[in-house]
A and B are shown apart, each in its own frame.
Chain A
Amino acid sequence: MTVIKGKKMNHISKKTIVGLIVFGLSAGISSIASASPESDAKAFQKYFTDRFPQVPYDDFMNGAYTVDKAGRENWEAIEEFPPYEPFIDDGQAMWEKPFKNGKTYASCFPDGPAMAHKFPHWDKEKKMVMTLPLALNNCLEANGEKPMKYKKGDINKILSYITYQSRGNKTNVVVPNDPDAIAAYEDGKKFYFQRRGQLNFSCASCHMQNAGMKLRSEILSPAFGHTTGFPVYRSKWGTVGTLHRRFTGCNKQVRAKPFKAQGPEYRNLEYFLTAMSNGLELNGPSARK
């Protein structure tokens, strides 16, 4: 097991930030402020390709199944009759059904539905990270329709359809040279490495530091590739759910107060996390335990 011993960062005191140590080893602590999203992604991905040299680069989109052999066999069997299939069909119906005013989603998204790979992106006008679910609801509200809930329910159907149509496109989050965009990215990065909750874990504690290790009998999935497969049919949920739903669950699991789905914290986190998987194909919707 790789043990990452870091330099003590007294001014950060109790908030041990594993990631700074990881990036620090490769880039030098003093250069963190000038580290770019590109160099971050490179260091991030190298950490995982070094840790799991037997896993082909492209396979990281398959989450824990890159390293969980038994789990992979079960998963491949499940993929014969994917549990997310009905959601794709329902989602297609949603995409095609006209709003009360006669328009459809296509009027907001002429390039759609194969557009999941264009999100999240920096919205220069609104000065915020724009995610696909948020963009869909913006379209609904602009057309006098009721917005969807962000964790459970119908949004998962239309997201399943859109991501299915988008399969094969590569993750390519480009953080523009805009101080607000960079701030949002850095905010997401900080969130990722920040310990939180009574149980005092950061996302990195499990998905970087202990990726591939067993928590009871569950193998912790590597963070590299985490975003490619959403929305996900999670056996535990018995349904398809969103990335922000999973963020909520993870925060609750470490007894931290979760943040609002599609609020700034989770959107910025999504921005950082997706950028770290740049280069990997989108393969949603996916099935996971």
Chain B
Amino acid sequence: MIHKAKSLAKSVVGKKSTVLLAASLGLGSLFFSSTASSAGLGVQQTSAERGQEIAFTRKLGNCLACHQIQGGVSGGNIAPPLVAMKMRFPDRSQLRAQIYDPRVKNPDTSMLPFGAHGILTPAQLEDLVEFLYTL
């Protein structure tokens, strides 16, 4: 039911709001909005939606472990909250690089080398950046 609402909302409201709507409908829908259920309805996830899933999934980005993120629950306080991302990272390649290997900017970082250690694939990194730019 949540996915039907999502696809309806998307056709009416547009990408960004759909992400917010999905978030407000409850985090559970995101964990279960896998390709299986989307494919069943013939609805493709947007890059930002996939990115949100990656950010909120413990075995993938697990970004909530350390960051507070709009739409996420119980984000940690180890790192800065992820807000105003376009303003903070006007250069997309810089944001991507920071996630790829944060040790470059800070050798003592607590952040994972998501790209350099193959925790996330290049495609996942792209989706994640798309999502971060909605924040």
Which residues of A pack against B, CB within 8 Å? 4-6, 8, 14, 16, 18, 21, 198-201, 205, 209-210, 213-217
Contact = CB atoms under 8 A, between A and B. Distances in A.
Contacts of B66: 215
Interface residues of B, number: 17
18 contacts: A4-B108, A5-B108, A16-B103, A16-B107, A18-B108, A198-B118, A198-B119, A199-B117, A200-B113, A201-B110, A205-B110, A209-B110, A210-B78, A210-B110, A214-B76, A214-B78, A217-B74, A217-B76
A56 B112 CA distance: 33
A69 to B, nearest CB: 15
Contacts of B17: none
Contacts, number: 43
Contact of B108 (A21, A199, A214, A215): A21
Given A216-B64, A216-B65, A16 B74 contact: no
Nearest to B117: A198
Contacts of B37: none
Contacts of A6: 107-108
A215 B78 CA distance: 7
B77 A213 contact: yes
Given A4-B108, A16-B103, A18-B108, A215 B119 contact: no
A12 to B, nearest CB: 10
Chain A interface SS verdict (over half): loop
B71 interface: no
A6 B107 CA distance: 8
Q: Which residue among B107, B112, B113, B117 has the maximum number of chain A CB atoms within 10 Å of its CB?
A: B107
B112 A200 contact: yes
Interface of B: 64-66, 74-78, 103, 107-108, 110, 112-113, 117-119
Given A14-B103, A216-B74, 19 more contacts: A4-B108, A8-B107, A16-B103, A18-B108, A199-B112, A201-B110, A209-B108, A213-B76, A213-B78, A214-B76, A215-B65, A215-B76, A215-B78, A216-B64, A216-B65, A216-B75, A216-B76, A217-B74, A217-B76
A8 B103 CA distance: 12
Contact of A214 (B77, B112, B119): B77
A16 B108 contact: yes
A223 to B, nearest CB: 15
B83 to A, nearest CB: 17
B109 to A, nearest CB: 8
A68 B74 CA distance: 15
A4 B106 CA distance: 11
A25 to B, nearest CB: 12
A257 to B, nearest CB: 14
Contacts of A216: 64-65, 74-76
Nearest to B64: A216
A8 B113 CA distance: 18
A217 to B, nearest CB: 4
B118 to A, nearest CB: 7
A261 B92 CA distance: 45
A16 B107 CA distance: 7
A86 B75 CA distance: 37
A230 to B, nearest CB: 25
A14 B113 CA distance: 12
A165 B56 CA distance: 45
A216 B113 CA distance: 19
A210 B117 CA distance: 22
A6 B108 CA distance: 7
Nearest to B77: A214
Contacts of B64: 216
B26 to A, nearest CB: 18
B119 to A, nearest CB: 6
A14 B117 CA distance: 12
Contacts of B75: 216
